[in-house]
Amino acid sequence: MTKIFFNLLFTVTLISLLFISCFIVLATLQTSYIWGDIYFEQIFIALYDGAPGIGNNIIQKYIIFSFIPAVIITLILSSFINKKYVLLIMSVSGILFGLYKVNFVNYIINKNVYSDIYKTHYVQPENIKFNFPEKKKNLIVLYLESMEKNYADLNSYDQNLLPQLTAISDQGVSFDGYIPLPAQNYTIAALVGGFCSVPYKFKKTTNYTELRNFLPELTCYADILKQNGYTNYLIKSTDLRFAQMGVFFKTHGFDHVYDVHDIESKFGYKLSDNKGTSWGYRDSTYYEIAKKQLTKIAASDKPFMFTMITLDTHQPDIYLDNQCPQSDNYNEDTILCADLMASNFINWVKEQSFYKDTTIVVLGDHIINSSTNIFSSQKQRQIFNLILNSSIEKNQNINHSWTVLDIAPTILNAIGVEFENAKFGLGRSLYANNPTLYETMNKSLFTELLKSSYEYENFQTSKYTFNSLYYPYLNWNKYVNNIEHIKKYASFSDVLFNYVWLDTLSFTLPEKSKSDIVFDIDFRIMFMKNKQRTIQFYVNDTKLTEITYKQNVIQPINQKIIIPASLIKDDNKLKLEFRGNDLGRSPSTVGVAVLGFSLNKILN
């Protein structure tokens, strides 16, 4: 009986492994077909930092072309191949193939090898003296999704697919010599690289404050603009929860950030009437909103930066607006349409009174990801880039090989900001004579950027989590339940649903307690799909206890935590942390919502 059970268990396990292998192979091939080569880190971003509802049609395609075929192939193979060792070899081979295709081995190696590139080449923006012109120029940054200069290449197409932008380019500055960085060919990486002059490296958040901050110890050019009197705006027609884009912009100098959830409530456009791709609003509506907002913003005398990121050309779910001409080639028509709408918007800005004091920067965020695009065989892939109304002239004798890292200092120069050697982070201005890092290091730059870095890890350290306030707790047994009073003890907090959400409280106690202390807290939590939450309680960085709460728990929850006197510091400092080991995507699913608490000495 035992032998039959183990044989059955082995067979079920083997078939399950075979299915997993088949699905991994098919999904990997489908991913490569849609997006070309990807790096393992991108899978983390999609799975962990995705946003609900984004790309539902893409998920459906994976079900149709990967999941269902994997079931069928598994049934066929398990029915016709009787030798179990053959099935096991096939299963393991399929899994190894999938790991190879997503560069898993390289990812693991680079996670454990550290580079000195930041020690050697990183110029800290916070240590740079920036000299702004007396009359500060406004800045409009228009990111065109996956837009390449190569679309204007007549050797690839029968026509120039960027006729309008090509004509406008004659009036501005454009740079050749772009070199794509490995593992950075997607939007959030392009934004981090372009704004901050460092590559993007994914880090799983471990507490509430980290979820609310994005590379908090990093300084980006939007931070510099804000420090020098600019008001910064960002509008994107998709869900900015994806890849924590919204957190990135809010952490780094943007005062007003709007996404698909704000467009109807703030600007009055219903998504159902203005749908583009499955990701969000169509670009024609997006440009209309931008014009109205720029008109309002420009009425102020305060300098501003206005950033936009288009969507219609997002692979693989591109969208052809019905306002544009249509032929029998949907892909080409979509590019022609994007070219027309972008040029119309730029021409509109040029007609406005504020344009004389405004620099326009137009950028493709990255080259096309799809492996099926017509440029896949070309070695020199160029993002579209154009600067209009630049404050300085481009030296025609200077032609750089450059990467996304060089965009930030170039933009600062373009709006008339001067700084030593035109170096910013790992970036070097394309207006300057100084060589870029790619010109200095060549392809060794790629190797070094893929490695880990202690300096980069410091960028990711939450400035709040490790900077406790230690506000005085005046009287033992005092119950603190006022929102403003609770916030005084929180390193970082957010008020949501009229509760204070936090993950750290810190106190300076009235006196050193020789006896144990009871921390009496009333709080609320939220549950995700697993219908339970585990909260780990830390006292002065030492894990004290861990409690799991089921969804049927009566809320608010009252919990009495006994804190041993031995954990109290000699300086009477007490830090309490509440760590969840099941972080969700919503801020309210991380940490706890504190209603009130008290600290009580236990009398001997």
Confidence of residue 529 (pLDDT cuts 50, 70, 90): low
- What per-residue confidence (pLDDT) applies to 374? 54
- What per-residue confidence (pLDDT) applies to 265? 86
In sequence order, the 6+-apart residues with CB closer than 8 A to the CB of 444 are none
Please check whether residue 28 is in contact with residue 100, taking contact to mean a CB–CB distance below 8 angstroms: no
Q: Which residues of 491-524 are buried (b: 16+ CB within 10 A; e: fewer)?
A: bbbbeeeebbbbbbbbbbbeeebeebbebbbbbb
Tally of residues, the chain: 604
Domain residue spans in the chain?
2-111, 135-458, 471-601
Distance of alpha carbon 157 from alpha carbon 374, whole angstroms: 9
Question: Containing H/E element for 483?
Answer: helix 483-488
In sequence order, the 6+-apart residues with CB closer than 8 A to the CB of 87 are 14, 15, 18, 77, 78, 81
Task: Report the amino acid identity of residue 436.
Answer: T
If you average pLDDT over residues 423-448, what whole number do you get?
96
Are domains 135-458 and 471-601 of this chain identical in fold? Answer: no
In sequence order, the 6+-apart residues with CB closer than 8 A to the CB of 337 are 312, 320, 321, 323, 324, 325
Lowest mean pLDDT among 128-132, 257-261, 353-357, 468-472: 468-472
Instruction: For 371-383, give the DSSP string.
Output: TTSTTTT-S---B
Model confidence pLDDT, tens digit, residues 286-339:
999 999 999 999 998 899 999 999 999 988 788 999 999 888 889 899 999 999
Model confidence pLDDT, tens digit, residues 553-580:
888 999 999 999 888 888 889 999 888 7
Q: What does pTM read for this prediction?
A: 0.78
Distance of alpha carbon 245 from alpha carbon 588, whole angstroms: 18
Name the most confidently modeled range: 380-394, 453-467, 584-598: 380-394
Q: Which residues of 244-264 are buried (b: 16+ CB within 10 A; e: fewer)?
A: bbbbbbbbbbbebbbbbbebe
- What per-residue confidence (pLDDT) applies to 48? 65
Mapped onto helix, strand or coil, the DSSP state of residue 505 is strand
∠ CA 406-411-415, rounded to 5°: 155
Confidence of residue 590 (pLDDT cuts 50, 70, 90): low
Is a pLDDT exceeding 50 seen at residue 513?
yes
What is the four-CA torsion angle of 23, 26, 29, 30, rounded to 10 degrees? Answer: -100
Rounded percentage of the chain residues whose pLDDT exceeds 90:
49
If you average pLDDT over residues 87-105, what whole number do you get?
88
- Say which CATH class 471-601 falls into: mainly beta
Residue 590 CA: distances (Å) to CA of 12, 64, 103, 543: 37, 34, 31, 18
Q: Regarding beta strands 532-539 and 542-550, do their DSSP bridges make them parallel or antiparallel, or are they unpaired?
A: antiparallel
If you average pLDDT over residues 369-392, what whole number do you get?
77
- What per-residue confidence (pLDDT) applies to 381? 84
Superfamily of 135-458 according to CATH: Alkaline Phosphatase, subunit A (3.40.720.10)
Token readout for 263 is 């467009």
- What per-residue confidence (pLDDT) applies to 335? 94
Task: Report the amino acid identity of residue 444.
Answer: S
Mapped onto helix, strand or coil, the DSSP state of residue 490 is strand
